Chains A and B, each alone.
Chain A
Amino acid sequence: MDFFKRKLPLVIVFLTGVVMMISFYVPHTPFNQIWDGASNWYQIIRSFTLVIAVVSLIRSHYRKIKTGKQGWGYSGIMFFVLIVTAVCGIIPDSVHPVFGNKSGSLYMWIFDYVNTAAAATVFSLLAFYIASAAYRAFRVRTIDATIMLVAALIVMIGRVPWGEQFSELITSRISPHLKFLRLDVLTSFFLNYPTAASKRAIYLGIALASVSTSLRIILGIERTYMGGDD
């Protein structure tokens, strides 16, 4: 049992990791086919696991209805929509044009006018959340927050045309040598140097951590993802 639960997965991970690593450096057959095949295999496996997801979804919502948990009515709606969508999509369009998954079918109508619209609505909530997050971030409580507020104000004003024109007007009136204080110039400076430098530092850290973590997993040093045994 220990062999199937611990050793075999480790062997599979090691072999897969090594072969994929070789495939990254060797473009020759059969490694290029393995590289392409692996991603196809992953897609195929993932399609099959959708069944597990549907079972899990049904189970959790059924439990809610059964126990009469708060918001159980929404679970009922979920079942209704799940059944209607699945039935409309599975029945072939040869029975009736409203079925199937061609454009104009009920299935596609639900996708285009219910799912997409609902997703767009949730996405648009982001605008309001950004405002509240910005308020929290820019409250002047510490010196760091103050610096961030000033930098953010410069970038925000410097990115809009009137900010650029206004700062150009002021700096050119004082002195032509003060061009570097124009808000659009300062904005470009902030974005191209401090921001880009910090972003790249994070990227480098992530890249290194990825190499280190991958080696940990391939060599079987990290086994936590297999459950416990760390």
Chain B
Amino acid sequence: MKAYKKTGIVLSLSLAIFILFCSFVGARELAAPESLEIRDTPSDRGDTLLISWHKIPQESEELEYIIYRSASPEGPFEEIERFPTNEKYASDLPQFFGFKKENEEFHAFEVDPIWETKQVKSRTVDGEWKTSSKKNRALLSFYKIGITNGETTVQGEKIVSGTPVQNWFRKNRINGLCFLVIMFFFVLYYISKAQRNPNIFLRMIPGINAVDEAVGRATEMGKPILYSTGYYDISELSTICSVNILAHVAKKVAQYDSRLIVPCKWPIAMTVCQEVVREAYINAGRPDAFNIDDIFSVAGEQFSYTIGVDSIMVREKPAANFFLGTFAAEALILAETGATTGAIQIAGTDSNYQIPFFVVACDYCLIGEELYAASAYLGRNPKLVGTLKAQDAGKLLLFTLLIVGTIMVTFGAFYKDADFLQYIRQFFLVR
């Protein structure tokens, strides 16, 4: 009996040791990476940090990394992110790590620091006061990494810390800056060239040449001309370009003693249009013919504006309609209504999805960049013409870069170890 009891104790002890050993081995298998590193996210406003660590051999979809954050190295650490171990490599963030092959060997993740916040009181639309917290200053934050298989979680020993800092230059936008500087010199060069030789050749744009024809037709028919600057406000470059064309159209209208109707969507654009048309009438020597009531606000809502302009087209039956600017879903509704009234229609937009609609429903269509070039084309001022030529030179440069870039990227994919190719590829990365 005594022997049985002894054997039982020995067996129980052995089992306990075995379980302990197994759990120890299991935990050892689930060791969290200890190669954790932290750095400031380059080229940012000081909003985030980058943590990175080497990948482990047993990475799979079932195993997950857990990132913990704390305000102190002693803790408590809170879980801030969890993702499968076979995801989020440094190669997924080429804007920070480039295209090197070794980027596939370690993980990288952008983490938020702990923020010192301040309470801000604001009034909601319903008239109630609401207190919300606003980020004030990034605090020193501590991070560690853990690994889990769903049942067991192991937290790493290594703790890293950092505070994000604001950077002085967005290195990732250097490609754009280089191109801007080159364009700047192109503009200066071609302006001086255009001033020496004002008869620079410009490709004919039928839509712009038809402006005179449209205004003349309206004058002959004794009907007004309708001009829309599009869906967006004056902050949009296309609207500014449209206003520039409006100045030329208004001048012609004033000279021909016709009537110009400009229904506007946005008040700022309306004010600018009023001033531009007024100046055009003054320049044409017809200030008395200017009627401010013909440049008015219709509605701020997209479809209210659309139906407002449609109703003007149906009632006033303008002989010429100009739709120049950025348009959205209203493009076809406007153009088709204009087509049913029998007006000559000149449209122009930089909105890719609306170009086909304008092409089918209007007599002339300025496609994309033609809208931007129209003002310089109409003005024939050597300085403006010079910028158009600079634009063409820029296009040639881009075309060359496209070919060179395609070759580089193709070879870059094959020769991932060639740093030179990877740097060039990284330079052209759009971020």
Contacts and interface: CB of A to CB of B under 8 A. Distances in A.
B395 to A, nearest CB: 6
Nearest to A202: B368
A32 B165 CA distance: 13
Interface string A39-74: 000100110011111101101100100000011001
B288 interface: no
A209 to B, nearest CB: 4
A102 interface: yes
Contacts of B357: 133
A28 B46 CA distance: 8
A70 B317 CA distance: 12
B183 A212 contact: yes
Interface string B42-54: 0111100000000
Nearest to A134: B360
Interface string A56-98: 1101100100000011001000000000000000001100000
B289 interface: no
A143 B311 CA distance: 36
Contacts of A49: 266-268, 271
Contacts of A12: none
B184 to A, nearest CB: 6
A136 B352 contact: no
A3 interface: no
B125 A212 contact: no
B283 A228 contact: yes
Nearest to A24: B173
Contacts of A29: 166
A119 B332 contact: no
B240 to A, nearest CB: 5
Contacts of B388: 212
B167 A129 contact: no
A25 B179 CA distance: 13
Contact of B307 (A100, A122, A225): A122
Contacts of B373: 209
B400 to A, nearest CB: 13
User: By CB atoms of chain B within 10 A, which of A27, A130, A134, A217 has the most?
Assistant: A27
A213 interface: yes
A42 B357 CA distance: 32
A32 B280 contact: no
A26 B241 contact: no
Nearest to A125: B333
Interface of A: 21, 24-29, 32, 42, 45-46, 49-54, 56-57, 59-60, 63, 70-71, 74, 92-93, 100-102, 115, 118-119, 122-123, 125-126, 129-130, 132-134, 136-137, 199, 202-206, 208-217, 219, 221-222, 224-230
Given A27-B168, A56-B267, 16 more contacts: A27-B44, A27-B166, A49-B266, A52-B297, A53-B270, A71-B315, A93-B127, A101-B127, A123-B303, A129-B333, A136-B361, A202-B352, A209-B368, A215-B183, A215-B187, A225-B247
23 contacts: A25-B173, A27-B46, A46-B233, A49-B266, A50-B300, A52-B267, A53-B270, A118-B307, A119-B304, A122-B307, A125-B333, A133-B357, A136-B360, A202-B352, A208-B394, A208-B395, A209-B368, A209-B373, A215-B184, A222-B387, A224-B244, A224-B248, A225-B276
